[in-house]
A and B are shown apart, each in its own frame.
Chain A
Amino acid sequence: MIKCFSSISLAVTSLAVSLIIGACQNNPGSTGNAGGTGTSERVKIVSSLPMTGSSLGQTQTVVNGIKQVLDENQSTACDGKVKIDYEVMDDATAAAGKWDPAQETANANQAVADNAVVAYIGTFNSGAAKLSIPILNQADLVMVSPANTYPGLTKPGAGEGNEPNIYYPNGKRNYARVVPTDILQGSAGANWAKALGVKKVYILDDQELYGKGIADIFEKTAKENGLQVLGHEGIDAKASDYRALMTKIRALKPDLIYFGGITQNNLGQLIKDARNVGMKADQVKIMGPDGTFEQALIDAAGQDAEGYYATFGGVPGEELTGKGKTWYENYKKKYNAEPEAYAAYGYESASVVMNAINKVCKNDRAAIRDAVMGTKNFQGVLGTWSFDANGDTSLSTLSGNAVKNGKFEFVTKLEAK
């Protein structure tokens, strides 16, 4: 402080004064970190998930899963040498009712600016990941997603021409995910449709990255399986009703309507209007991907949700075996509630990050990134798996679920080809 005052007295302009005060205030924090062999390191994990809006049901259990990992380790790593803080960020806004591009960008920038942050768990929506991966990439910050399934984020040749390299401006991969991608889910859905005896299908999507991607893959596999694709169209997610569209589809007499998208893009209304114009559940099935595999869908569609089919890029908590079964029971005991589908993936994401911090034992973003990306033969709640060079999981068991008596019930395990 004395040094500070003396330099202030020497300073001539007010600009200089303010600069020096800034420098003095910064000093104590940075010396604490640099000198500390004996003192413990503090690192921080953040999660960026849509916590406002109807995804909350899912994302809250993801956050619970992450907290569970931290609690099991008393929020420390490396035998207590590293203390881990955790901050929950929300990438949704009340006005949008779902994830908001500006908010997701702001979250990523905030994580980069905070020196303590060493890992970013998220996002829930693939479209949001597109925005945050490049921001984090330039800061060598690792991102682990419990829920993104859009293939183009990682797999060369699976998305648009310049994907996925456009997301990794510094050339090093910093993004991994613990869920199988839509390539598996879309094709598993089409295989399931065939097994259910479907002959003619009409495909709709919500025009988002996730929804359209999965619908395209469904369409491709459906054609390979010999199903007749009557049409493929994008819907306006903000429309107040879909009677006109459903009237048109009814005239084509499909056995199945496949919806690529998320519940929040008005699937409840879509299902209601399908039934409203007279397509009965036993004549026309409706199927969707994991973005619709949640209680919110049943709340929205009410009675009309009965018989709705949803694929999920993994296995629901209660169907897990071994370590997963133990986790499922611990979760229920701890939170006194059933985990939603993604809770196990939240837990797994945090476990992978924890594992990496344990290997590195210091606040070094690049080293933690490399440790996460190099995860091999990880024994987690989902089974034993590895990240490949693209950061994708080696797991490929999916599940088919259907709504029965106002609840999603597990129907069958699906293996993607």
Chain B
Amino acid sequence: MKRWQNAIFYLVIVYLVLLLGPVAGLDIPRIITEIAQSPASLVQQLLVGLVNGAIIAIIALGYTLVYGIIELINFAHGDLFMLGAFMSLTVVGAFGIQDGASLQASGLAMLVSLVLSAGVCAGLNVLTERYAYRPLRNASRLAPLISAIGVSFIFINLGLFWGGLRSFFPIMGANAASPKSFPDLLPRIDILEALGIESNIEFTTKDLIVLVVAVVLMVGLQLFVQYTRLGKAMRATAQNREAAKIMGINVDQIIALTFLIGGALAGAAGLLVGLYNNTVVFTMGFTAGLRAFTAAVLGGIGNIIGAMLGGILIGVLSALSDQYLSSRWTNAWVFAVLVLILVFRPGGLLGENVQEKV
């Protein structure tokens, strides 16, 4: 009986895809010809998707970390990331760095902005936890969620205000709400070309830097959580707050530490995205946050490796959809895949590792 139901369910899904797909640009023969004609563009799009996915994953880490420990979806995280980007832009502007400045000239500015934006975001996140989430820790689960949405609005308006401070920071441009141009500082050398390989594929040092930073952060965080005393305390707090307390763990401090790390990651991501996309705008947190949150859920929320996997999956899917389907339907395709995956694996791709909490 169960088998029959499943079979019918699969059939319905296939039917829906075949029925609605063509509307959204799904034309299988055309796609196959296009891939056959130019396999290079497939590879190129996979690379684009991989790098975009890495960026999504870095932001997703903040969601997954906080959810892992107190089961709160911190909706303000995306906007915290936006503030990190603003902080970086401000610092870079204060150093007087312009488009195309040499690495020697901009290196110090980038380092300072990394420290400052990670620091400011970490501090903000700890304050948020202290005053917006901690008082509600024992309230119903929806209360901190609403509180998080409120904090998110505060951050958005803070970003809007910050963007209007052009008399202090000329780099903010003429208008508070306009997107601001972030100087292009990372070197953009085509690696394949530099290695002497002739191809139509472009993979620059800029892309490589993003990938390396993402992997380093991911691995570092995983090692921290798995193998350090503090990491162990975090896992203990996540599993059972009361028992952790009995064992002598200062739960409040551990949770604050989690927010500190999450905030610092958001700040670092803000700088990285500023350097990579070269645009900073006060609404960027919402979009980025939505995608990152989706990636975290897709990978299994609370799971660090899952966030990476989810991010890359979303990045690659979007890139392929832009290339072979239609860019106006990209979000629809990405979220359709998300729904499908969650239907079959409600815990996300790597979701089983998460401890079931009482």
Known contacts A238-B287, A241-B277, A248-B323; A300/B177 CB under 8 A: no
Question: Which residue of the partner chain, among B45, B174, B322, B323, contacts A296 with CB atoms under 8 Å?
Answer: B174
Q: Which residues of A contact B182 (CB under 8 A)?
A: 302
* In the assembled complex, A56 has its CB within 8 A of some CB on chain B: yes
How many chain A residues touch the partner (CB < 8 A)?
A: 41
- Name which of B14-22, B68-76, B130-138, B278-286 contacts chain A: B278-286
Q: How far is the CB of B201 from chain A (nearest CB, A)?
A: 10
Q: Which residue of B lies closest to A205 (CB)?
A: B328
Question: Which residue of the partner chain, among B180, B284, B331, contacts A299 with CB atoms under 8 Å?
Answer: B180
Known contacts A234-B327, A240-B273, A245-B322; A53/B156 CB under 8 A: no
Q: How far is the CB of B178 from chain A (nearest CB, A)?
A: 4
Bound-state Cα–Cα, A303 to B55, Å: 24
Q: How far is the CB of B180 from chain A (nearest CB, A)?
A: 6
Q: How far is the CB of A230 from chain B (nearest CB, A)?
A: 14
* In the assembled complex, B270 has its CB within 8 A of some CB on chain A: no
- Name which of A119-127, A133-141, A271-279, A307-315 contacts chain B: A271-279
Bound-state Cα–Cα, A53 to B188, Å: 32
Q: Which residue of B lies closest to A302 (CB)?
A: B181
Assess the A268–B179 pair: CB atoms within 8 A.
yes
Q: Which residue of B lies closest to A266 (CB)?
A: B179
Assess the B279–A272 pair: CB atoms within 8 A.
yes
* In the assembled complex, A113 has its CB within 8 A of some CB on chain B: no
Interface string of A84-121 (1 = CB under 8 A from B): 00000000001101000000000000000000000000
Q: Using a CB-CB cutoff of 8 Å, which residues 239-283 of chain A contact chain B?
A: 239-245, 247-248, 251, 263, 266, 268-269, 272-273, 276-278
Assess the B327–A296 pair: CB atoms within 8 A.
no
Assess the B327–A245 pair: CB atoms within 8 A.
yes
* In the assembled complex, A233 has its CB within 8 A of some CB on chain B: yes
Assess the A57–B174 pair: CB atoms within 8 A.
yes
* In the assembled complex, A207 has its CB within 8 A of some CB on chain B: yes
Q: How far is the CB of B148 from chain A (nearest CB, A)?
A: 16
Bound-state Cα–Cα, A276 to B179, Å: 17
* In the assembled complex, A295 has its CB within 8 A of some CB on chain B: yes
Assess the A300–B328 pair: CB atoms within 8 A.
no
* In the assembled complex, A301 has its CB within 8 A of some CB on chain B: yes
Bound-state Cα–Cα, A303 to B38, Å: 32
Assess the B160–A296 pair: CB atoms within 8 A.
no
Q: Choose among A57, A276, A300 the residue with the greatest number of B CB atoms under 10 Å from its CB.
A: A300
* In the assembled complex, A396 has its CB within 8 A of some CB on chain B: no
* In the assembled complex, A355 has its CB within 8 A of some CB on chain B: no
Q: Which residues of B contact A97 (CB under 8 A)?
A: 177, 281-283
Interface string of A281-310 (1 = CB under 8 A from B): 000000000000001100111111000000
Q: Which residues of B contact A242 (CB under 8 A)?
A: 322, 327
Q: How far is the CB of A84 from chain B (nearest CB, A)?
A: 30
Q: Which residue of A lies closest to B287 (CB)?
A: A238
Q: Which residues of B contact A52 (CB under 8 A)?
A: 177
Q: Using a CB-CB cutoff of 8 Å, which residues 202-226 of chain A contact chain B?
A: 207
Known contacts A248-B322, A268-B279; A54/B157 CB under 8 A: no
Assess the A300–B287 pair: CB atoms within 8 A.
no
Chain B residues within CB distance 8 Å of chain A = 38, 41, 44-45, 48-49, 51-52, 55, 99-100, 153, 156-157, 160, 173-184, 188, 200, 202, 273, 277-279, 281-284, 286-288, 291, 318-320, 322-323, 326-328, 330-331
Known: A268-B279, A273-B277, A299-B174. 12 other contacts (CB 8 A): A57-B178, A94-B156, A97-B283, A240-B273, A240-B284, A244-B52, A247-B323, A272-B279, A302-B181, A302-B182, A303-B99, A303-B100
Can you list 14 A-B pairs, Cβ within 8 angstroms, ordered by A? Answer: A94-B160, A97-B283, A234-B326, A234-B328, A236-B327, A240-B287, A241-B52, A251-B41, A268-B181, A272-B279, A276-B278, A299-B174, A302-B182, A302-B278
